[in-house]
Each structure stands twice: as C-alpha cells, then as structure tokens.
Amino acid sequence: MEYFVLYTLMAAALGLFMAWGIGANDVANAMATSIGSRVLTMRQAVLVAAIFEFLGAVLAGGEVTSTVRKGMIDTELLVGDPQLLIAGMLAALAAAGTWLMLATRAGWPVSTTHSIVGAIIGFAVVGIGFDAVHWEKVSAIVASWVVSPIIAGVLAFILFTTVRRLILETTEPLQNARRYVPFYMFLGGTLITLVTLLKGLKHVGLNLSMVESYSLAAFVGLIITVIGIYFIRRIPTPAENDREKQFQAVERVFAVLMVLTACAMAFAHGSNDVANAVGPVAAILSTAKTGSVLQQSPIPVWVLLLGGVGIVFGLATYGRKVIATVGHQITHLTPSRGFAAEMAAAGTVVMASGTGLPISTTQTLVGAVLGVGFARGIAAINLGVVRSIFFSWVITLPAGAGLAAMFFYIFRLLPG
Amino acid sequence: MGSYLSKIFSASPLHELQQHMAKVAACSGELVPLFEALDKQDNALVGEIQKRIHKLENEADDIKRQIRLHLPRSLFLPVDRADLLELLAIQDHIANTAQDIAGVLVGRKMRLPEKTGTAFLEFVSSAVAAAAQAEQTVAEVNELFESGFRGAEVDIMESMITKLDDIERETDKIEVTIRGRLFAMENNLPPVEVMFLYKIIDWIGDLADDSQRVGSRLQLLMER
C-alpha cells in the first residue's frame, strides 16, 4: 500500500495519544485504593504502576487487543475497500481520544473502554452499515460491563467476609493475620501469574503446557508468599494488649499484602486497558501493510510495547500529579478493606482480559468497593458518585459513536 | 484533577460521633466541680464553671451540625443512618441537660440545702460517671468497625454496656435517697426553691438515663 508510512505514523501517533491519556488519568483510579490506604508512597506507587502497567500491557494485553481490532466488526464486508477500515479505525481513535479529553476537562467519570467500543460501533454503522457490527459480540461486551462490577462485588464481599471471620473478629487478630495473610498472598500471586502464562506468553513466543503453566504459577505464588512472610515477620508485636494497637499492627500486616494487590491491579489495568489504544492501531497496521483486510497475522509485539510506553509516559508526565491528588483525597480506607476490593477487582479484570472482553477497570473496582461496603467494611461510601460512575457509560457510548462518525467523514478524504 | 474513585470515599461519621461524645462527656463532667463550688458557696467559681459548660455545649453543637450536614441520604454506611442520628440526638441531649442544670443553678442563684452537699455531689458524680462510661463505649466504635461488627469486639462492647447499665442503676438508687431527704426537709424550705431542686434532681437523673440510652442505641447499631 503506497501510503503505508503515512497511515502507520498517524495510527501510532493517535494510539500513543490515547495510551498517554490512559496513563494520565485512568491509572490513578486503578491505584487509588493502594495510595489511599497509605501502603505505598507516591514515588513507589508511580514506580509500581509504571512497571506493572507495562508488563500487563505487553504480557496479557493481547486477547483484548484482538477483540478491539477485529472482534466487533465484520471485516469480510470490507474486503474490497481496506482504506475504509483504516479511515474508520483512525476515526475511532481520534473520537475516543477527543471524548476522553473533553470528559476529563469537564470532570465526568468516563471509561476509556466504553469510549473506544462506542467509537468503533459508530464508525462501523456509519461507514459500512448496521449489519457490519457483530452485534452478538457487542452485546457480550456490554453485558460484561454489567456483570464485571457484580462479580467483583461478590468476590470482594466473600474475600472480606473470610478476612473478618479468620482474622478481624477473633480474640487474637494479630496472630491470625500473621497466620492467614500469606494464604491470600499465595492465592493472588498464583492467579495473576497463571492468567499471564495461559494467555500472555504466546506473544512473547513462549509455549508452556497446561501442567507447566500451573506448576510455574504455583511456584511464583510461593516465592511471592515467602517474600511476604519475611516482611510480615518484621512487623513488631505491640507490647500492650490494647485492641487499638493490635488492630494497627493487623493493618500493617495487610499493608504488606496490599503491595502485592497494587501490583496485581496495575497489571490487570495494563492488560485490559492498553487494548483500547493499541487495538485500532494493530488493525490499521496490518491492513496498511498487506493492503488486505482479511489477514490472520498476529499482533506485533511492538504495538503492545507502544501502548505500554504510552501509558508509562502519561503516568510520568501527568498521572503522577493525579495520583498525588488521590492520595490526599482518600484517607479513610484501611489495608484490610483496600486489599479485598483490589484483589477482587484485579482478579475480575485479569480474567476478563483472558477471555478478551474489554471491561472498565474503574467500574469493576467500584463494584468491588461496594462489595466490601455491603460486608460493613467501609465507613462511608458516597452513592451519588457511585451512580454517576456507573451511568457514565450510557452517555459515553453514543458520544463516542457520534464523534467517530464525524471523524470518519474527515478521514475518508485521505488518499487511498 | 483527581480520580472519580477517590470521591466515593467519605469521611467516617463514626469518628465525628466519637468526637461529639467526648465533648458531651467533658461538658457534663464539669458538673462535679460545679457542685463542689456550690457546696463551698464559691459564687465566682460557680459562674466560671457555668461559662465553661456553656462553651463545651456550643462546641458539641457545632460537631453535631457538622455530622448532620455531612450525612446525606446518598451515603452508604456500615450502620443504620437513623440509628446514628438517634444516637447523636441522645448524646446531644446529655450536653443540653448539663447546660440546663448549670443555667438554672446560676440564674436562680440557688444554694444546696444544708447538709445535702455530699449527697448531691455523690449523685452528680454517679451520673457523670455514667456519661463517661458512655463516652468510653462510643470510643470503642472504631475497633468495632475495624473488626467488622462481629466477634470478640462485640463482647467487649457488650460488657462495657453492661457496666453502663450498672452505673445507671446505682445512680437511680442515689436519686431515690436524695429525693427522700429533700422530701423530709421540704416544708422548711422556700417552695419555689424546692420545686427547682426537684427539677435539678430530675435533670441529673436524666444524665444517667440518657447515657444508658446511648448504650442501648449502640447495641442496635452493632446489630443492624
């Protein structure tokens, strides 16, 4: 294709812009509970976010990227006109990016995932036709937006209830925290590693058998647990048998666990949300390169890298300021609660990433927070804000779609 | 700038509730030195303490207003909102009663009848002890929340509430005795003065009763 370089540059620039936006705004949401419970300092939080967002994007971001790239529209209708797909995907990126910027300016809680899904549907309906959209796939995605916060909420409720039963409500909460927290570490570490191994490593060219994957995941989980136990042992037992002091020490044990869940959350976010930026880029690249819409070529690793770099760049330039603000805003979340919410959300997001469903990390996390709230774990939840977060996607879908349609007509003028 | 997620967490009203109760207990606690000063007929000191009580009651009112302002219906709490507001109202009533007692004593330049000084002091000390016990029980709410409103912490709360009930019962007994003594001498005292002395006794009794009600409300709060 003669304009290959032009399209590549445009796609890369828009994709990078969107990844930058995710890093600048979205990451703060993913890390909020960790920062709020004072487990990590700002600097550490930014570092953890950078490393694990990047790893999540590159190692486990492939499936969702595929869905965004080619799962939602029927590319067979485009065989004769590859330029249409390129213009459409460029329009989707531009639309989602613009909408996110507008929403951020206005302070609306919108999801990057919803923006890009809306945008892709928008261009497909306008540019190709109503039937070009794989509606059954799109309904599955929309259903996952309803289901994922509920699953995360139920998981968080169960997790916090077990924490309460095993540790908090006992007569010796500190001893029991030391005893049981390592199990949660093992569970979390193994789960995240397993999803990465099963779903992510194909892209890096590593093929493990099922048994190998499970054993390696358990092994990594074990190493993480041993490191965790080392840090838990270093927490001093308060001399007096004062309940308040005891609970403070218990929270310090959970703080160790929460470092792990913070990493998991950043990883999960990277694995799910980077696709919003690089999915369309991957679609444009392969079409522009081969001049054909119907290819089975895998997603080039460098596209995922681009997303990872974009997120880290957004985090470094703007996101760390947002994270600092969040740290001052959330002061009422203790690690025993924050961990339950984060672990449930991270687990849900990573599993969704494994199945290729693009879900909203923020909404999943809010669902998890509500789950802990239902278990009487959180002092005060502002339901007004919760409602606005959940309903934001009702407006985001048509807004993304409308903007994408508009940009589509502009990009259609590009040379083919 | 900020994250939407951070806005969903609000400040804990339980913490403010404890601050309020601390002020209320401090306010009613001033009644002990007030009755001591009254017994010694140190009018200057009585006036001074009354001002302190007034100031503490005002501070408690400010906290109460803050809690009510920051407790919209859209707030999702681990305890029932109505229970919380009711608890606040009871606590508030303790401070109001303390202020009323001090106000009437000073405003009417009242004197304790002869040889009742120690009895009144014992009575008021017992009622104030009930308020102090209520404060300690409310202060335990933090640990109760931390433990998820279950288990060992509930037992600790229950035993504190039992102790509170005991103090209230003790105060009741003292009230009966002091009423008896006042009845025996009431014909020799100015009638209006006697009327107000009974009023004061009522109010001191209310301090203990309300403190006990704080305990019962806390029990409802735990169970939800």
- pLDDT, tens digit, for every residue of B41-61? 999 999 999 999 999 999 999
What is the DSSP-derived secondary structure letter of residue A204?
T
How many residues are given for chain A?
Answer: 416
Mean pLDDT of B29-50: 95
- Kindly list the distances between the CA atom of residue A213 and the CA atoms of A193, A195, A206, A208, A271, in Å, as whole numbers in the listed order: 9, 9, 11, 6, 18
pLDDT tens-place string over residues B52-104: 999 999 999 999 999 999 888 899 999 999 999 999 999 999 999 999 999 99
- Going by C-alpha positions, the residue among A137, A128, A108, A78 that lies closest to residue A357 is A137
Q: pLDDT tens across A203-230, in order?
A: 566 677 788 888 999 999 999 999 999 9
Contact between residue A340 and residue A129 where contact means Cβ atoms under 8 Å apart:
no
Rounded to a whole number of angstroms, the distance from the CA of B90 to the nearest CA of chain A is: 21
> Which residues on chain B are in Cβ contact (under 8 Å) with A163?
148
User: How far is Cα of residue A327 from the mean position of the Cα atoms in its chain?
Assistant: 20
Q: Which 8-state DSSP code applies to residue A382?
A: E
Sort out which chain B residues have CB atoms less than 8 A from A250's CB and list them. 146
Cβ–Cβ < 8 Å for B88, B138: no
Second-level CATH architecture of B12-223: Up-down Bundle (1.20)
Q: Contact at 8 Å (CB) between A66 and A283?
A: no
pLDDT given for residue A83 in this prediction: 83
What separation, in Å, do the N-terminal and C-terminal C-alpha atoms of chain B show?
A: 37
Inter-chain residue contact B5 with A362, CB threshold 8 Å:
yes
Question: Closest Cα of chain B to A154: distance in Å?
Answer: 17
For A31-46, give one letter per residue: b (16+ CB within 10 A) or e: bbbbbbbbbbeeeebb
* Residue B7 touches partner A, C-beta closer than 8 Å: yes
Using the beta-carbon criterion (under 8 Å), do A243 and B12 form an inter-chain contact? no
DSSP-derived secondary structure for chain B: ---HHHHTB---HHHHHHHHHHHHHHHHHTHHHHHHHHHTT-HHHHHHHHHHHHHHHHHHHHHHHHHHHT--TTEE-SS-HHHHHHHHHHHHHHHHHHHHHHHHHHHTT--PPTT-HHHHHHHHHHHHHHHHHHHHHHHTHHHHHHTTS-THHHHHHHHHHHHHHHHHHHHHHHHHHHHHHHHHHGGGS-HHHHHHHHHHHHHHHHHHHHHHHHHHHHHHHHH-
**A37 and A335 in contact (C-beta within 8 Å)?**
yes
From the list B3, B6, B11, the residue facing A380 with the nearest CB is B11
Mean per-residue pLDDT over chain A, rounded: 86
Mean pLDDT to the nearest integer, A352-372: 90
Domain boundaries, chain B: 12-223
Other CB atoms within 10 Å distance of the CB of residue A118: 27
pLDDT, residue A146, reads: 93
Query: In this complex, do B5 and A170 lie within 8 Å of one another by their Cβ atoms?
Result: no
Interface test with A, best of B6, B15, B75 (most A CBs within 10 A): B6
